[in-house]
Amino acid sequence: MARASESGLPIEPVYGPSDLDGWDPQQKLGEPGGYPFTRGVYPTMYTGRPWTMRQYAGFGTATESNARYQQLIANGTTGLSVAFDLPTQMGHDSDAPLASGEVGKVGVAIDSVDDMRVLFDGIPLDKVSTSMTINAPAALLLLMYQLVGEEQGVAADRLTGTIQNDVLKEYIARGTYIFPPKPSLRLIADIFKYCRAEIPKWNTISISGYHMAEAGASPAQEIAFTLADGIEYVRTAVAAGMDVDDFAPRLSFFFVARTTILEEVAKFRAARRIWARVMKEEFGAENPKSLMLRFHTQTAGVQLTAQQPEVNLVRVAVQGLGAVLGGTQSLHTNSFDEAIALPTDKSARLALRTQQVLAYETDVTATVDPFAGSYVVERMTDDVEAAALALMERVEDLGGAVSAIEHGFQKSEIERSAYRIAQETDSGERVVVGVNRYQLDEEEPYEPLRVDPAIEAQQAERLARLRAERDQKAVDTALAALKEAAADDTSNVLYPMKDALRARATVGEVCDALRGVWGTYVPSDTF
């Protein structure tokens, strides 16, 4: 009897040659590093060097987060990944009324370039690659990073890393938006232009399916809605006058890795194939790098459990293996205690060690795309691709990603998938070890990491000192210039924004200046 995959597609007990009747290996696979990139974006993949090992971290103050980064680097992390607290993500200062109770809780509090300087103190920005999970205010954090690099004597053309900068998925699944879609897309196009001229090695956007998956999206939905958002960003940049090959090589993606290894491998392979075809056929991209879907992966936090948390070590290892077999370019492995609280030093180190075991103690790095030609994986790749393309066609029928968001299409589809998963878990049809099967009568005690609530007062004191010390006239002048640029569609807002941040304007002040011109986003009733 066939089982259903996470996408609701059938998984047969046995696959064979008949499942690939009429299947053309050259058309479907190509060679590793060649169109349509099913087998990976680079010819040698991990046989030359492993993926970038990133660990997503950030909590409390910049000082505390800096200490965690230093520990991760000492333990072998090859790339940093910064988590910001909710006030920073929403463009509010730590002393704003709306920030109360949230400062430093889910990430580090960054209010100004002063905090950014502390965050990267002692970390040479020309020697690390930094990913920042920030969306609506992504431009601000990127510019503060550039300013800190300048203070270190690091030229902007030597800075490498990624800003998530994917606001469309915020309207769909996550909710940390600030501005309405139109000015948000304009800001993203300005970032593309700015980075091409000023920070050429920076990945200007990480188009994210991870948060949709955490909200309940199936693998097919995850890649369909993510690629549809990617198409919208490309169209926006082209409409702003950019040549596709001038910015597309710096686009990157961000996906989840679940415990269902076979479908996850199929999902990653299908996503690469779809994107290569879209970029070539719809946008006429000629640079091979424009056709490559390069992506970061994070193991599935939504699948981790507070019950018997040590079992999460096994889940994360399996999820990480799926990401590697699927050809990820970088990977974050979750800590086993993340369903309870922020990771401790020990659990963060164990998560990194998981990646190191995969890279150096297994043989998955010895050959490229080990599942190529597998009856089951090739058939599942085709099935996931077909399901994703059908969803992408529905988005196009609604007028594209933004219009579909306004209709509530992606959100409602994800909610249906999440409801199905919840029903299957509640009924026991979907087994979750420790939750609905193999429970313990009594859980062992666990002492989580807790953020000191005094951090909020400390950040407020830092802000008070900053405002007392800085040249307020210079700040006011810079913010006025930013508003003027925001009101002029022909101006790039990042240049006056950088001037404002250099003058020590705060995140909240810069975002408030833009709110005054662009307004704020209010979800429609269809959501």
**DSSP-assigned beta bridge partners for residue 437:** 433
Report the C-alpha gap between 455 and 109 in whole angstroms. Answer: 9
134: closest CA among 61, 187, 186? 187
301: closest CA among 234, 240, 262, 351? 351
Q: Do residues 380 and 6 lie in contact, with contact meaning Cβ atoms separated by under 8 Å?
A: no
Amino acid at 75: N
pLDDT, the chain, mean: 94
Q: Do residues 209 and 253 lie in contact, with contact meaning Cβ atoms separated by under 8 Å?
A: yes
Share of the chain above pLDDT 90, in %: 88
Q: Do residues 141 and 108 lie in contact, with contact meaning Cβ atoms separated by under 8 Å?
A: no
**DSSP-assigned beta bridge partners for residue 177:** none
Q: Do residues 58 and 65 lie in contact, with contact meaning Cβ atoms separated by under 8 Å?
A: yes
Report the C-alpha gap between 461 and 456 in whole angstroms. Answer: 9
Report the C-alpha gap between 295 and 324 in whole angstroms. Answer: 11
User: What mean pLDDT is predicted for residues 423-444?
Assistant: 92
310: closest CA among 443, 422, 211, 131? 443
242: closest CA among 255, 233, 230? 233
Q: What are 279's two structure tokens?
A: 């970029």
145: closest CA among 494, 513, 429, 520? 494
Residue 527 pLDDT class (50, 70, 90 cuts): very low
**DSSP-assigned beta bridge partners for residue 130:** 80, 161
User: What mean pLDDT is predicted for residues 89-109?
Assistant: 95
Tokens 């026991």 found at: 428
Name the DSSP letter for residue 22: T
Name the DSSP letter for residue 405: H
**pLDDT for residue 525:** 55
User: What mean pLDDT is predicted for residues 174-190?
Assistant: 96
User: What mean pLDDT is predicted for residues 178-187?
Assistant: 96
3-state secondary structure 128-195: CEEEEECCCCHHHHHHHHHHHHHHHCCCHHHCEEEECCCCHHHHHHHCCCCCCHHHHHHHHHHHHHHH
> Lowest-pLDDT range, 24-28, 230-234, 298-302?
24-28
Whether the pLDDT of residue 253 is over 60: the answer is yes
More confident residue, 56 or 157: 157
For 38, 433, 511, the CA distances from 297, given in Å and listed in that order, are: 17, 24, 29
Strands (E), 15-91: 52-57, 79-83
Q: Do residues 101 and 64 lie in contact, with contact meaning Cβ atoms separated by under 8 Å?
A: no
Report the C-alpha gap between 209 and 222 in whole angstroms. Answer: 5
For 26, 118, 149, 153, 489, the CA distances from 158, given in Å and listed in that order, are: 38, 20, 9, 10, 30
Report the C-alpha gap between 321 and 327 in whole angstroms. Answer: 10
pLDDT digits (tens, 9 = 90+) for 315-353: 999 999 999 999 999 999 999 999 998 888 899 899 999
Report the C-alpha gap between 182 and 188 in whole angstroms. Answer: 10
371: closest CA among 292, 264, 468, 293? 264
Whether the pLDDT of residue 53 is over 60: the answer is yes
Report the C-alpha gap between 380 and 19 in whole angstroms. Answer: 10
pLDDT digits (tens, 9 = 90+) for 123-149: 999 999 999 999 999 999 999 999 999
- 3-10+32-427 fold: TIM Barrel (3.20.20)
Please work out, in degrees rounded to the nearest 5, the angle formed at the alpha carbon of residue 208 by the alpha carbons of 205 and 209.
160
User: What mean pLDDT is predicted for residues 3-15?
Assistant: 92
Report the C-alpha gap between 482 and 498 in whole angstroms. Answer: 9
Whether the pLDDT of residue 2 is over 80: the answer is no
Name the DSSP letter for residue 43: S
- Where are the domains positioned within the chain? 3-10+32-427
Q: Compute CA 297 distance to the chain's CA centroid, rounded to the nearest angstrom.
A: 8
527: closest CA among 411, 436, 446, 423? 411
Radius of gyration of the chain (CA): 23
Report the C-alpha gap between 477 and 311 in whole angstroms. Answer: 55
For 23, 267, 347, 377, 483, the CA distances from 19, given in Å and listed in that order, are: 9, 18, 43, 11, 59
**pLDDT for residue 3:** 87
Q: Compute CA 445 distance to the chain's CA centroid, rounded to the nearest angstrom.
A: 33
Strands (E), 216-266: 251-257
Report the C-alpha gap between 95 and 508 in whole angstroms. Answer: 10
Report the C-alpha gap between 174 and 405 in whole angstroms. Answer: 13
Share of the chain above pLDDT 70, in %: 99
Whether the pLDDT of residue 511 is over 70: the answer is yes
Query: b/e for 140-162, b at 16 or more Cβ within 10 A?
Result: bbbbbbbbbbeeeebebeebbbb
Q: Do residues 72 and 343 lie in contact, with contact meaning Cβ atoms separated by under 8 Å?
A: no
